[in-house]
Amino acid sequence: MSPEGPADLADTDLVRACRRQPVRRTPVWFMRQAGRALPEYRAARGTGSILSAIDDAALAAELTLQPVRRYGVDAAILFCDIVVPLHAIGFGVDVEPGKGPVVAHPFRSAADLSRLRPLEPALDTPHVSDAVRLVARELGGSGVALIGFAGAPFTVASYLIEGGPSRTFTKVKSLMHSDPALWGQLMERLAAMSVAFLRAQIEAGAQAVQLFDSWAGSLSPSEYQRFVLPTTRAVLEGIADLGVPTILFGVGTGELLGLMATAGADVIGVDWRVPLDVARTRVGADHAVQGNLDPALCVAPWPVVEAAARQVLAEGAADGSGTGHIFNLGHGVLPEADIGILSAVVDLVHAESQRA
């Protein structure tokens, strides 16, 4: 095998853990590992919009690789944003620093469906595929996997409908309940967009993908089952033929884990509220789990973080299989996180999980 051939690229602990195959050691990466906690990130990014940085494939590739060099993590995650496809088709979305996605004219009625044309990655997001190729080439043979990602339809819809980040999700919940037909059409379009975006990343060299349904935990189980799960399943079915492992993640999803496990993903991401041994019983032995150190702890002194990380490792290994756990935070790295602490976490995970 060539050191840069596809078979070699897939032979990483990250991919093996997703598939519950034997690993050399428990793989570890951090959601939002490319971010303001890193001085090299702040230097390279400057003050421009994140969407401009993503437009620049070389810069996006560099930002993707920085945390691999800094932390020694087992996976890079593409530097990108879940609203990139919407932005690319001209829906009118921007990402405000410190706030998040904002939509100038939120989705309100059936008339807005016409603003959601299909994504054509080769024309609309060639820079994203270029960045994937650049990173995949750089990582070839290193044992570090490249993870692509997209927003799950519900979480993307929440920004479209609320017009920005929300704590209550009143508008999106009102729409799904009061006009299920329109909701279904919207979710179908967003699902197609996520499928196209993920397929392009996989075809360009991503060896695994994560579907971010970050805000699914705001829903009740019956809402999730009726209004979200079918479309999430459709996204995962839409990329199944490509054969890369898939991770489905959301925050505050304790009550949803059993349902999420039926969506077709290989791995379920879990936040810090549910101990991983409990999470494993909810998602079943046919799934791997990812998580779940509390990102808020990564500003605490090392002994605090060390104890918490050891607890995550122990709970992640409690099923005795020796695999099926991807160490991560329970949500993204906070800008104020101590990067020395994060490096020490990676070293601890590697040292403690080294197989004989």
- Is residue 354 involved in binding a copy of itself (CB under 8 A)? no
Among 217, 277, 318, 319, binds a copy of itself (CB under 8 A): 217
Sequence-separated contacts (24+) of 343-347 with Cβ below 8 Å? 343/70, 343/71, 343/72, 344/302, 344/305, 344/306, 345/28, 345/293, 345/298, 345/305, 345/309, 346/28, 346/71, 346/72, 346/73, 347/72
Residue 281 in the binding site for a copy of itself (CB under 8 A) = no
Residue 86: name the closest of 71, 61, 104 by CA.
104
51 binds a copy of itself (CB under 8 A): no
10 binds a copy of itself (CB under 8 A): no
Catalytic option among 19, 24, 25, 36: 36
Q: Which two tokens stand for residue 62?
A: 């560099």
Query: Can you tell me whether residue 299 is helix, strand or coil?
Result: helix
The count of other CB atoms within 10 Å of the CB of residue 323 is 21
Residue 286 designated active-site: no
137 classed as catalytic: no
Clarify whether 167 is annotated catalytic: no
Instruction: Select from 322, 319, 327 the least CA-distant residue to 349.
Output: 327
Give the interface segment with a copy of itself, choosing from 122-130, 190-198, 260-268, 298-306 (CB under 8 A): 298-306
Query: Closest distance between a copy of itself and the C-beta of residue 206, in Å?
Result: 29
Identity of residue 322: G
- Find the catalytic residue in 41, 71, 159, 224: 159
Subset of 154-213 contacting a copy of itself (CB under 8 A)? 168-171, 173-174, 177-178
Q: Choose the stretch contacting a copy of itself; rule: CB under 8 A; options: 6-14, 139-147, 148-156, 304-312.
A: 304-312
Positions in the binding site for a copy of itself (CB under 8 A)? 168-171, 173-174, 177-178, 217-222, 252, 254-255, 272-275, 278, 294-297, 299-301, 303-304, 307-308, 311, 334, 336
